[in-house]
Amino acid sequence: FTSDAQALAYAADYLHIASWNFVASGVIFTSSSMFQGLGDTRPSLLASGSRFFTFAAPALYLAGRPGLTLHTVWLMSVASVYLQMCISLFMLRLQLRKKLKDLKSIEAAPVAAPAPAHPTSSTAAAGRPTRSPSRDSPRTPSAPVRAAPAAAAGVNTRRSA
């Protein structure tokens, strides 16, 4: 790729720092999927938005200051990803507590006795399965019957008597 020693030093430094992002990114992706499975993706959106305020805004502010290095920007990136991970996990914990609390209240509610089976249901009063109306009715072909090839071509196939 290159034999420039300075470029290789920057690349090695970047890879050492950026590799820490992968752990937090995996947790963020997993918690985002959990939010989606729970039916509320707003916490995931808020956590992603927090990264803008913890990385992009400071990076833009520091861009105009002397002494900003790539090493500093990469460290800010790792810090912002870990902060986003913490925010996601905190909101996931709140969401799971809420959902589990709702589940416990549903489980604690008294259960009504099941209604008796209706005679037209899948089991009759005698306990034997009944046939559905579609099985009892005569079958009709799903496709129309095609005419013979000669009749389709307009050829008279009747014999005269």
CA–CA dist 30, 20 (Å, integer): 17
CA–CA dist 92, 89 (Å, integer): 5
What the block records as the tokens of 67 is: 């002494």
Each of the 161 residues of the chain gets a pLDDT tens digit; together they read: 778 888 888 899 999 999 999 999 999 999 999 999 988 889 999 999 998 899 998 899 898 888 888 899 999 999 999 999 999 999 999 999 988 887 777 777 776 667 766 656 555 555 555 555 555 555 555 555 555 555 555 555 555 55
Q: Write down the pLDDT at residue 22.
A: 93
CB-based contact 48:84 (threshold 8 Å): yes
**Interacting residues of 77 by C-beta distance below 8 A, sequence separation 6+:** 17, 18, 21, 55
Q: Write down the pLDDT at residue 52.
A: 87
Q: Write down the pLDDT at residue 3.
A: 82
What the block records as the tokens of 11 is: 């690349």
Phi, psi of 123 (to 5 degrees): -125, 135
CA–CA dist 83, 76 (Å, integer): 10
